[in-house]
Structure formats: structure tokens, C-alpha cells
Structure 1
Amino acid sequence: MTDQTINSSVEEDRPTKPALMRGFRCKCPNCGEGKLLHSYLKVNDSCSECGQELFHHRADDGPAYLTILIVGHLLAPALHVSYVHWRPDPWVMAIGFSIGCIALSLFLLPRLKGAVVAYQWARRMHGFGKSA
């Protein structure tokens, strides 16, 4: 029989919720000070404040799917309610909801990308397991 123990003192805990909040604010998930993104959606290679490497991320299409999910779940009921209660002209409704969809998508996409990168950092995924 071999003794298999886990040495938990080697890697300190990375709390997920604070990391997600920092990522949603587009800040470094480690220190919360440095910028996570530049050029709207490009992730910085490392944090300018604490030096945490950020190039390990694999956000890929996750933030876009989350954005579509949230925008759809917010605007679909709003579309139904506005049609049932106020019956606006079709062009007014199309233009209004198109502007709302684009604005909400542009607002949420970088924030959700930051949250996805922060989640990967907190869970030590894709090379984030090494210490800074």
C-alpha cells in the first residue's frame, strides 16, 4: 500500500467569486488593479500591476455564447411585453430592439470575456496553475 496524500500548502486557494467580479470589471483576476483587456477584446499577455501571466486563457467562443444567452433571455420577454401592452409600429419595434440588442451585446461581451478568463485563472485551467 502506498500513502497518497495531497499537499494543499503548495497551492493556495484562489476564490472564484472575487476573481469573477474582477474579471467582469475587466481587471486582473489576481490583483484587481491591472487591465485585463486592450483593443476591446484582446487579453493582455500579463498584468501591468502584479505581473500575472494572462496569455494562457482559452476563452474562445464562450463569452459570445454567454452574451447571446443573456441578451436573448432579457430582450425576448421585453419584446413580448411591449407588443402585448403597447402594440408599437413594426418599424419602431424593430429599430428599438435592434439598438437595444446591439448596445447590450457590446456592453456585455468584454465583461463576460473577462469573467471567463478570470474563471479559468481561479480554477487553474489551461496553464494558469503556475504561480505568478
Structure 2
Amino acid sequence: MTLHTSAPDETPRDTRQAIKNGLRCKCPRCGEGALFSSYLKVQANCPSCGLDLTPQRADDGPAYVVILIVCHVVGITLGILWENFRMEPMMMVAILSTLTIVLALAMLPPAKGLFVAMQWANRMHGFGRAEA
């Protein structure tokens, strides 16, 4: 079994701080610059520290995580609404549809920020090469 070790010239990256920065939708390295130029479009470079963000490959990962969490929250809420309030089915559809859309849209940017931060902290997809 071979363990991955960092080369001696590579400085360690603080994964915990990178995750905090990513969840705040900030640059994983400096925590100052905005990670996104629009709703989910990752900037090419951090406006604050100049980190090249083009190697990120979040793809569908954030959407899968958001769907997993939102479906559990909505499923539990459905059970609570039905057992405790016996609401009309169409009223529950209206409430749960709204809840689903709001939660999913609110959670997507931080989830994508988390994925980008994890890739940077673990030197994945080109984030391991020498940086500016």
C-alpha cells in the first residue's frame, strides 16, 4: 500500500479553513475574494490573491449533495405536516414545493464552494501545480 505524501517544497494547506472559505463562497486560499462571478459561475482568478480557479471540476457533485439533503428535509417535513396538522394535500404540495425550491437554490452556491475548496485543499485537478 502506497500513501500519498506531499513533496517537500509544497506548503501544507489548511483544509478546515479552505472549507470554511468555500462555504462562505470565498476564495479557498485567501478567504477574501469572491469565488463566483455570478450565481454558480466560478471566477477564472481570485480578485484578491490571484489564485487560478480554472482547474476546479465541481461538475454535478454539489447538485447531488443538495438533492440528498433537501429530499431528506422535505420528506421529514412531509411526515410532520401530515401527522400533526392533517393539511389538505394541495396545501402541502404548495408548502413543500416552495420549501424545496428555496432550500435547493440557497444551498447550491455554498455546496459548490465546498467542492472547489476541497479540490484546492487536496491539490486535485491541477490545483497542485505551482501557484502565483
TM-score, normalization by structure 2 = 0.92
- The C-alpha deviation readout for 1:24-64, integer Å capped at 9, x for no partner, is 11000000000001220000001000000000001000000
What letter corresponds to residue 10 of structure 1 in structure 2? D
Instruction: Write the distance in 2 (CA, Å) between the matches of 1:113 and 1:7.
Output: 26
What residue in structure 2 maps to residue 3 of structure 1? Answer: none
What residue in structure 1 maps to residue 93 of structure 2? Answer: 94
What residue in structure 2 maps to residue 68 of structure 1? Answer: 67
Instruction: Write the distance in 1 (CA, Å) between the matches of 2:124 and 2:76.
Output: 36
| Residue ranges of structure 1 left out of the alignment (5+ in a row) | 1-5
Matches within 5 A, 1:1-132: 8-132=7-131
3-state SS in 1 of match to 2:101: helix
What letter corresponds to residue 40 of structure 1 in structure 2? Y
Instruction: Write the distance in 2 (CA, Å) between the matches of 1:13 and 1:71.
Output: 34
Instruction: Write the distance in 2 (CA, Å) between the matches of 1:114 and 1:121.
Output: 11
1:131 deviates by 3.2
Instruction: Write the distance in 1 (CA, Å) between the matches of 2:120 and 2:100.
Output: 30
Runs of at least 4 residues off by over 2 Å: 6-9
Instruction: Write the distance in 2 (CA, Å) between the matches of 1:46 and 1:7.
Output: 24
Aligned residues: 127
Max radius of gyration: which structure? 1
Instruction: Write the distance in 1 (CA, Å) between the matches of 2:88 and 2:62.
Output: 33
TM-score, normalization by structure 1 = 0.92
What letter corresponds to residue 43 of structure 2 in structure 1? N
RMSD: 1.2
Question: Identity over aligned residues, as a percent?
Answer: 47
- The C-alpha deviation readout for 1:9-32, integer Å capped at 9, x for no partner, is 311111211111100110000000
Instruction: Write the distance in 2 (CA, Å) between the matches of 1:82 and 1:68.
Output: 20
3-state SS in 2 of match to 1:35: coil
